[in-house]
């Protein structure tokens, strides 16, 4: 690598660090991006495919979670566009205005991204399905460890290892971002974990939907899902064709709920444990909402 090339890359990285350290500017860029798309600032545009799959728990919670996380997904979208524009030598100089910044890499296609990534993965035989007791007992000493921490630990020890990469996909007014837990030439892989074996069916359903979504957008015919539950140490895998109709069903339902359509209430236990119950229009309009009565003196 020449000194000139090294200097150019270092300059790009420093500009990226500066940009993604400026929350105020990124907030303004998100609003400007929505304006350019003809979308109101408070309307949801950027979300994760994991949010769409989370509808298996509750559609309203999935949408509320997506709205809360939108800036994170917009940051990832913009970062990926800029980095791939640089890799593909489409970015000769750092954009001088916010409009130029948002235009950088806009025309990059999934085919171009996949072509860059394909040297790092290949066609692999789909492993056999299995259901067994995991040989290692995984203990997380911190009783207050959150779900994300526990998930990351279980994935580190239990998940199969495949190549991963992230990209974004337009769907209606939305831009959905996804990064499968694994991708090969012929299948996508999704790993889920949970603490209770009795919730395995729910986690399996969520993994199946997420696998269908990844297969639909990343254009793979097969999916492999892996589910681990810590109380019984059971880990099970399932292989099946990608169900594109199922993926589209969940995408359309996500859009309907985001537009205000109210689905059926989930089970009472899900509402009680939901982080969004105090702002959930479905819960607040239901009979499950705790009632307050004036004190009679």
pLDDT in tens, 67-91: 999 999 999 999 999 999 999 999 8
pLDDT, the chain, mean: 90
pLDDT at 5 over 60: no
Task: Say if strands 182-183 and 174-178 run parallel, antiparallel, or are unpaired.
Answer: unpaired
pLDDT at 179 over 60: yes
**Neighbour tally for 264: CB within 10 Å:** 7
Nearest to 218 by CA among 228, 207, 210, 226: 210
- Label residue 171 exposed, middle or buried (CB < 10 Å: 0-12, 13-18, 19+): middle
Question: Which percentage of the chain shows pLDDT scores above 90?
Answer: 70
**Neighbour tally for 256: CB within 10 Å:** 14
Distances (CA, A) of 23 to 30, 130, 155, 174, 227: 11, 46, 30, 22, 36
d(CA 246, CA 205): 11
What pLDDT is attached to residue 288?
61
pTM: predicted TM-score of the whole model, two decimal places: 0.89
Radius of gyration, CA atoms only, the chain: 22
3-19 helix and 70-87 helix, angle to the nearest 10 degrees:
170
pLDDT at 235 over 50: yes
């Amino acid at each position: 690598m020449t000194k000139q090339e090294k200097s150019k890359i270092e300059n790009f990285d420093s500009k990226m660090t500066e940009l993604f350290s400026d929350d105020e500017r990124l907030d303004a860029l998100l609003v400007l991006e929505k304006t350019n798309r003809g979308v109101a600032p408070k309307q949801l545009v950027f979300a994760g495919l994991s949010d769409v799959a989370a509808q298996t728990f509750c559609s309203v919670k999935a949408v509320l979670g997506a709205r809360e996380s939108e800036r994170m997904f917009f940051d990832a979208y913009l970062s990926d566009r800029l980095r791939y524009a640089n890799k593909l030598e489409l970015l000769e100089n750092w954009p001088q205005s916010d409009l130029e910044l948002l235009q950088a890499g806009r025309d990059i296609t999934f085919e171009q991204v996949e072509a860059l990534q394909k040297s790092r993965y290949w066609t692999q035989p789909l492993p056999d399905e299995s259901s067994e007791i995991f040989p290692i007992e995984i203990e997380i000493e911190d009783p207050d460890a959150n779900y994300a921490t526990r998930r990351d630990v279980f994935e580190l020890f239990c998940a199969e290892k495949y190549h991963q990469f992230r990209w974004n996909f337009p769907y209606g007014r939305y831009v959905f971002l996804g990064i499968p837990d694994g991708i090969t030439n012929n299948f996508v892989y999704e790993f889920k974990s949970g603490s209770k074996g009795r919730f395995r069916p729910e986690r399996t359903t969520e993994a199946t939907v997420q696998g269908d979504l990844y297969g639909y957008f990343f254009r793979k015919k097969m999916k492999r899902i892996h589910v681990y539950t810590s109380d019984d140490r059971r880990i099970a895998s399932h292989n099946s064709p990608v169900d594109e109709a199922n993926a589209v069903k969940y995408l359309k339902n996500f859009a309907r709920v985001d537009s205000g359509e109210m689905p059926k209430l989930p089970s009472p236990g899900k509402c009680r444990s939901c982080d969004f119950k105090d702002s959930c229009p479905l819960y607040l309009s239901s009979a499950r909402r705790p009632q307050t009565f004036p004190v009679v003196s």
